[in-house]
């Protein structure tokens, strides 16, 4: 199945793209745009706290050691810290 075949997957693509762009503004990698501000407006504070990454990579690395998530944390630490 391709994302163009599913409106749900298309919506998820748009939302995650906006969250990634918004997260990059939090660490100063991009400027705020109308798009990422509109996407972040769709989330309430209760949702957002669970979606923002913990920037203490060493703490997350210890917590997730031995898991697939640990590999992802290593990737983020290498490319975004």
Residue 1 has pLDDT above 70, yes or no: no
All structural domains of the chain with their residue ranges: 1-43, 53-81
Query: Which pLDDT value is given to residue 44?
Result: 65
Q: How would you write the chain as a 3-class SS string?
A: CCHHHCHHHHHHHHHHHHHHHHHHHHCCCCCCCHHHHHHHCCCCHHHHHHHCCCCCHHHHHHHHCCCHHHHHHHHHHHHHC
Q: Which residues contact 10 (CB under 8 A, 6 or more apart)?
A: 3, 4
Q: Rounded mean pLDDT of 54-80?
A: 79
Q: Is the pLDDT of residue 51 over 70?
A: no
- pTM value is 0.40
């Amino acid at each position: 199945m391709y994302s163009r075949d599913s409106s749900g997957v298309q919506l998820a693509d748009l939302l995650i793209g906006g969250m990634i762009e918004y997260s990059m503004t939090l660490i100063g990698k991009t400027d705020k745009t109308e798009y990422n501000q509109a996407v972040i407006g769709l989330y309430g504070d209760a949702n957002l706290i669970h979606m923002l990454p913990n920037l203490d990579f060493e703490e997350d690395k210890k917590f997730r050691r031995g898991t697939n998530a640990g590999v992802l944390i290593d990737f983020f630490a290498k490319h975004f810290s």
